[in-house]
Each structure stands twice: as C-alpha cells, then as structure tokens.
Amino acid sequence: MKDTKDPQARLDALRADTERRNPAQPEFHQAVREVLDSLAPVFAVRPELADPSLGLLERIVEPERQILFRVPWQDDHGRIHVNRGYRVEFNSALGPYKGGLRFHPSVDIGVVKFLGFEQIFKNALTGLGIGGGKGGSDFDPHGKSDAEVMRFCQSFMTELYRHIGEHTDVPAGDIGVGGREIGYLFGQYRRITNRWEAGVLTGKGQGWGGSAIRPEATGYGSVLFAAEMLAVRGLGLSGQTAVVSGSGNVAIYTIEKLQQLGANPVTASDSQGYVVDEKGIDLALLRQIKEVERGRVSEYAARRGPSAKYVAGGSVWDVAADVAFPSATQNELGEEAARTLIRNGVKAVSEGANMPTTPEAVRLFQEAGVAFGPGKAANAGGVAVSALEMAQNASRSAWTPARVEEELAEIMRSIHAVSYETAERYGAPGDYVTGANIAGFERVADAMLVQGLI
C-alpha cells in the first residue's frame, strides 16, 4: 500500500487496497468505507493513529481469524444437505469476540465480515469490555421443522464448539437465530464439552442462564436512542407516528417500547411485503403470528380487520411517519425511500438493523436535518445486555428485569452522549455517524497501540 503521511490519501489508499484484497464482498467494502470516511478529523488531531509505520489501520480491517466449515445435516425425509458455516473473529483488543450468528440464504463471507467489522466499534461504544466477531450460515430456517432446525444447529455446533468459549468468543442470535436455535446450540455445546459454561452463548432462556430483557434489548435500545436524539431537539416520542420495518426480534420489541412511550407504530414487514394498520399495530396478534405460528405478516392483515392493509412487495417507507425504525436487514432503505420519508416530514431515523440505510440515503437524511442514529450506536442495546448476561453467568446470579432495564437505559444514554459529544469535538455537530465511528475507533485503536504488534 502507498506509504503516504497525508491522512486523506492514506485512507483512500487503504480503502482501495481493502477492496482489492477482498473481492466480491460489497457489504464489507461498504462498512469499511463508512468507517474510514469518518476518520480524517481524528488523524488531523492525532496523526500517530494514521502513522503508516504502525500499520494500525491495515490491522483493523483484517480479521484476526476467519473460520469456514461444512455443515452437513439431514432433513425429515432422510435427504442430506450441505450448508456453509462461518465465524469471523475480527478484533479482541477490548475483550472476547462477541457478536451474533445469522442463518439466512444471503449469508456469505462478505456479509459476515461486514457484520463483524461493525461489531468491533459497536461493542467498543458500549464500554463493556467485549471484542468484535460475527458468524452464521447460508441455511434458511424458513419452512423447516423444529427437528430439522435442531439437527442443523447440532451439526453447526459440532464444528463451532472448538473455536468458542466464555473467555474466547461468545456468539448470540441475529437474523434467523432466536431462542429456539440458541437452545439447540447450547445443548450441543454442553453435550460435546461436558461443561456447564453458561457464558459461552448469550440470548439463552431465562430458566437456564439467560438474562431478563435480553430478547427486548435491541428494540428497546433503538427506541431509547431515538428518544435521546429527539430530546436534544426539544421533542419527545409521545404522540408520534412511527414506521417500523421487519417483524422479527428487533421489530417486535421496537413496537412494544414505542407503545409503552406513547408513540403509535403503524407498520410491520417481512421480505414479501408490509402491513399498515391505521389503529396502530396489535402487538399480541403480530406476536402470535410471528413467534408462535412462524407465519407471514400478510396473515396479520387478514385477521386484524378493516384497519389493516397488506401491501405485497411494497416499500414500508411509503407510509408517512414522524419517526422511522429500519429493523429488518442491510440496505433496505435507499435513496428513493429516504426522499419519500423526508417529504412526509420524518424527524428521526434510528437503525435497529445493521447498515439498513444506504450511504446515499444517510446523506439525504443528514442534509435534510433529520436526526439519524446509525446501527452501531442505536442497536447496541442487544449486545450490551448480552454482556450483562455474561456478567450474571460469571457470578451465577440473575438480575431483576427492572435492574437490567435500568442498566440498558443508562448504557443507551451513555452511547448517545459519547456519540454526540465526539461529533461536536471533531467539528461535526449532530452527526451521529461520525461521532459513533470516531468514539468506537479511538477506544479500539488506543487498546491496540498499547498491546504491541497484535
């Protein structure tokens, strides 16, 4: 790579080099670009961090370890299938690798690396001593029986177990991996290792080592982050109409917290379409369909009555709202959707999902003065409560829901404050993307520098 001391030229060269060395990984390129684009102001103040002779930036974009493995499993008819398993252990300068497992057909090494890279800075922002990692498989749990999902999880863990541990690498859930999957994965880990090592996975059930409020944490945290952003502008969530995408773990608890705070969430979606309910989402019905029956949101409209309408294949962002919560998947909110939301008067966007907003859409929101909370900051509540789950496991204790929720609220306030203040300090007031990226980066970089060449 070009050995220049000009910080911007260094960043451009590093970006080009990363793209060349990691071909066909567009999501990873996008995540790296977003962080690098924020860092120039840091190097102006702290040039030592960009010193080419340290190679710090080159090390940060390269995972410490990448594990790829075969996952053979048998369906209910006796047929053998082969999926691919991944675990990317990206950076452990601040603590054991920590980050979820995603089961979705779109998962490949580039997707896992984008998620792992984001996770480094997100985890640093929580201040809780956790490194960054991510994993998953191209297995699609949709339409599979419980027995098939169990056999898949057992096969997946039969390889993964040798790479993880409560002080090494601690996976959790993500898309397609919820309480059911964590149960099967934990059971197989325990069986192979003959150890009750509760802290090896988070998102466990509450009767066997899980934390209160862990299922709720990402969605709740994303709403609390939006409330903080609005408070800076003298606004609140009460009485605001909200548009939420997705209908999984993050979306459901985003809707729940919005309702608790007096807002009116009117949508939910899945990969086939969205539902808009002018009376506000009936959460009990949505949960019955998604969590119990594992059905589609189209069934919500069919059962809810005349207040709800299902739009097959449409964009949920066409629905007018004061606040928006993209909570499904990456790049689900593009330029056109951003223009529509802005035209309809949106005041804040809080990313419950990871990288759901395209870079062009982020720019449009920022130019229009919309408060924009990037996933690294806004959805860090999930991993934060995972770290609290690890703390409870280590001390063999179980905290009350009220205590965990209080800690979560405090952590979200602190992530908002550090992102806000860092943006101000580096001359980008109100720009939470810059603030979160720089604050996370400084914590990781400082730890790496004093730990020698790692």
* β-pair type (264-265, 241-244): parallel
Q: Which residue has the tokens 């040798």?
A: 162
Min dist CB 383 to ligand NDP, Å, is: 6
| Nearest residue (CB) to ligand NDP, 329 versus 358 | 329
Q: State which residue, 14 or 251, has the beta carbon closest to ligand NDP.
A: 251
Helix (H, G, I), strand (E, B) or coil at 79: coil
Task: Determine phi and psi for 165, rounding to 5 degrees.
Answer: 170, 160
- Residue tagged active-site, from 113, 122, 134, 347: 134
Please name every residue paired with 142 in a beta bridge, in sequence order, or none if there are none. none
Q: Give the binding site for ligand NDP (CB under 6 A).
A: 173-176, 178, 218, 246-251, 270-272, 327-329, 332, 352-354, 379, 382
Cβ count within 10 A of residue 397 = 8
Give me the phi and psi of 204, to 5 degrees please: -75, 165
Residue 176 or 440: which CB sits closer to ligand NDP?
Answer: 176
Minimal distance, residue 122 CB to ligand NDP, in Å = 8
Q: What tokens appear for 189 in the block?
A: 């880990």
State the minimum distance, in angstroms, from the CB of residue 205 to ligand NDP. 15
Please count the CA atoms within 13 angstroms of the CA of 265 that sit on its side-chain side: 30
Specify the residue, 126 or 249, whose C-beta has the smaller distance to ligand NDP: 249
Of 171 and 352, nearer to ligand NDP (C-beta) is 352
**Among candidate residues 353, 356, 349, 352, the one with its CA nearest the CA of residue 371:** 349
42 or 123, CB closer to ligand NDP? 123
10 Å Cβ neighbour count for 280? 17
Q: How far is the CB of 203 from ligand NDP (least distance, A)?
A: 7
Q: Are 435 and 428 in contact (CB under 8 A)?
A: yes
CB of 252 to ligand NDP, least distance (A): 8
Instruction: Tell the smallest beta-carbon distance from residue 358 to ligand NDP (Å).
Output: 14
Name beta bridge partners: 349: 324, 372
Residue closest to 168 by CA, chosen among 137, 194, 189:
189
Smallest separation, CB 234 to ligand NDP (Å): 29
**Alpha-carbon torsion, ordered 31, 36, 37, 38, to 10 deg:** 100
Q: Where are the alpha helices (DSSP H) in 210-278?
A: 214-232, 249-260
Please say if 134 is a catalytic residue.
yes
Q: Which is nearer to ligand NDP, 352 or 435 (CB)?
A: 352
User: Looking at beta carbons, which residue is closest to ligand NDP?
Assistant: 248
Kindly report the backbone phi and psi dihedral angles of residue 366, in degrees, each rounded to the nearest multiple of 5, phi listed first: -65, -40
Element (H, E) at 89: strand 80-91
Q: Output the 3-class SS for 318-376.
A: HCCCCEEECCCCCCCECHHHHHHHHHCCCCEEECCCCCCECHHHHHHHHHCCCEEECHH
Catalytic site residues? 134
